[in-house]
Structure 1
Amino acid sequence: MTDRKHKPSAVERPLSKGKAEININSFALLFSEMIQYCQNRVGSVPELQNKLSELGQHVGVRILELLFIRERNLKREIKLLQILLFIKSNVWKTLFGKEADKLEHANDDERTYYIIEKESLVNRFISVPKDKGSLNCASFTAGIVEAILSGSNFPCKVTAHWHKGTTFMIKFEDSVIARDKILEQR
């Protein structure tokens, strides 16, 4: 008998380690098909962006569980800034192979934060028709972020906007800010 070492399957390996296992061309094809599928079921750009966000939320719930089970040993963040940094770094690396470009806090609203991505992968291969000029397919990514934050007990609304590339505006509920202030006092 030979002693063989157990080689972990793709499901058992940590998400942050190893090479990306998806071909960018395959991703572009699948994502464009998903957009076409959604576009055939809605009547306006806002409806299409909402549909993409809903699909992203389904992905975000699953990503949340994978990251916290496999990468963090079930340890969840309880402070607002820590969960945002986790998304900017770990989540972005898992999904896109690199960190998001920037995390900013709004000057005029304590409930609003921005994650800025100069060149969003989900918009890279999309050509938007003139009649849908305001379409930002990063609404899909916004849905992922919203599901991760809400699933981590940081209820919010996340939207994608064209500004400095793609900006994800995260608007937290008042309860999140109040809880974070209490945690800071401890």
Structure 2
Amino acid sequence: MSQAESLMRLDTRVSRRSNMLLEQGIGKPRRDKVCLGAFAFLFAEIIRYSQNRVLGIQDLEAKLGEIGRRVGVRVFELLMWREKTVHRETRVLQTLVFINTVVWRALFDKQADALGRSTENDDEYMITDNEPSILRYISAPKEMSSFSPGAFLAGVVEAIAECCECPARVTSHLVPAEDMPLKTVILLKFDREVMEREKRLEAGK
């Protein structure tokens, strides 16, 4: 068999596989999972691609957050389409529980490890993941020790909170602990209008 024939046969197999993927309905959840190694490689390339187009660490985190927000919108739309028992939450606590459980399970096949509220500021909440799978194979050089690749995940959460009509400023913080070097806290600071709406709704009960 000539090289040209081999390439044509390979191209046919790839095209057939692509057509099968495109023909699958989005309403039916797929049971197979993306290989973590493949995703880690893709995420590392996203970081490298972004790094080559920014001037500093803050810009890089902002770029990753922007990419994460685009992903978050699509994740939310897909979940609303697939999960017939799930409806869009518009209250702060219900939105946080939705992200902590439904969204985390859809993305990482597990719910987040903790959900808490700041003891100092009523408008701040925290979602904790002791070992985010997207960070497992990511390491920053010493000169970028302050870089938080979890900014991508913060962007995902920020987009979903906004889709639930609970806009917030979301940031990611690496807080290593014993036996948990990748422990990450996603901090949500909800807009003032959101908290005022919550107070009105509570008062109207």
**Aligned residue for 2:15?**
none
Is 1:175 aligned to 2:190, yes or no?
no
Whole-Å Cα distance in 2 between the matches of residues 25 and 10 of structure 1? 26
How many matched pairs?
176
- Contact 1:20-1:97 within 8 A present in 2 as well: no
Identity of counterpart residues, as a percentage? 39
**Aligned residue for 2:179?**
none
Unaligned runs of 5+ in 2: 1-22, 177-182
TM-score normalised by L of structure 2: 0.81
Distance 1:105 1:51, change over 3 A: same
**Aligned residue for 1:11?**
26
- Contact 1:123-1:136 within 8 A present in 2 as well: no
The structure having more radius of gyration, on CA atoms, is 2
**Aligned residue for 1:4?**
none
**Aligned residue for 1:88?**
100
TM-score normalised by L of structure 1: 0.89
In the alignment, which of 161, 175, 187 is matched to residue 149 of structure 1? 161
Is 1:60 aligned to 2:72, yes or no?
yes
Q: CA deviation at 1:78?
A: 2.1
Unaligned runs of 5+ in 1: 1-7
Query: How far does the alpha carbon of each residue in 1:24-68 deviate from its partner, in whole angstroms, 9 at most, with x for none?
Result: 111011110111000111121111111000000000111111112
Further displaced range: 141-150 or 65-74? 65-74
Distance 1:183 1:69, change over 3 A: farther
**Aligned residue for 1:76?**
88
- Contact 1:79-1:183 within 8 A present in 2 as well: no
Q: Which is helix-richer, 1 or 2?
A: 2
**Aligned residue for 1:5?**
none
Whole-Å Cα distance in 2 between the matches of residues 116 and 74 of structure 1? 23
CA RMSD, 1 decimal: 1.7
